Amino acid sequence: MANIIFYFTGTGNSLRIAKTVSNTITDCEIIPMGTNRGITINKEYDRIGFVYPVYFWGVPKIVRDFVSDMRMENNKGTYFYAIATNGGFAGNGLKLLNKLLLEKNIKLKYGKALKIFSNYIISFTMPGKFKKLLEKSDKILLPMLESIKNKKPNSIGKINKKMNQFYEKYVSTFQYEDKNYTVDGSCVGCGICKEVCPVHNIELIGGKPEFKHTCEQCMACIQYCPQRAINYKGKTEGKVRYTHPEISYKELAESNNIKYRNA
């Protein structure tokens, strides 16, 4: 039977992990959550996976909306799993996904948080030795791959209510945070920011990016801009940018535009 992984990423970390999982279990599609909404899965899959970063101790808004809108009645016996990347504390990052699935009478059979490092450039400075940190996370990923390959279950736990209150407070404001983005004179109108945005929140008007208020705060536009022309509220100027070294902007752009086809 076939497998499928749904992912969401801003800097390429989750896409790279999804590719690694796909290579482990084989016969596996990789589909972006950002540009696929309201899908119905009639085909029965052996495994259905989700890979995404933890945002404010929860899941990105687009992940929440994507899973809420999914229909997958023919996959009640499927092995559902998730890997949530995080830089600090995973919080409810897996528990919220499990709650969304339980509302569809589906249980998350396996879920693990994979600590990499915090790359939310608004609040953190990117580490200088990130390659070593990536190598370390790859080693931590290995037993997760084996568990997914062999369909091992684990316990996800219950939602922490206080953390969820914090999450709900911030997740509802994400889409409007792009009003605080600035574009300086070094912008050359290359359009890379538009191409890598996983939710198509950017248009080029007069050769300059304009934001449409469907932002996920994934930082793709800031991190991938070759001129470092895009910044946020005076908090990101001069900071080191980070994107996964194995995920080019071209690959990210192409992957984020793949459409799910229920064949």
pLDDT higher than threshold 90 for residue 88: no
Per-residue pLDDT tens digits for 125-137: 887 788 899 999 9
Torsion of CA 10, 13, 136, 237, to 10 degrees: -30
pTM summary value: 0.95
* pLDDT for residue 29 is more than 70: yes
Mean pLDDT of 68-96: 93
Same fold, 3-164 and 174-251: no
Kindly tell me if the per-residue pLDDT of 37 is higher than 90.
no
Q: Which two tokens stand for residue 130?
A: 């990130």
Predicted local distance difference test score (pLDDT) of residue 138: 96
pLDDT value at 262 more than 80: no
CATH 3.40.50.360 fits 3-164, yes or no: yes
How do the domains of the chain map onto residue ranges? 3-164, 174-251
- Work out the average pLDDT over 240-253: 96
- What percent of the chain clears pLDDT 70, i.e. is strictly above it? 100
What is the structure's pLDDT at 10? 96
Please name which of 100, 39, 35 lies closest in space to residue 74, comparing C-alpha atoms.
39
Average pLDDT, the chain: 94
CATH number of 174-251: 3.30.70.20
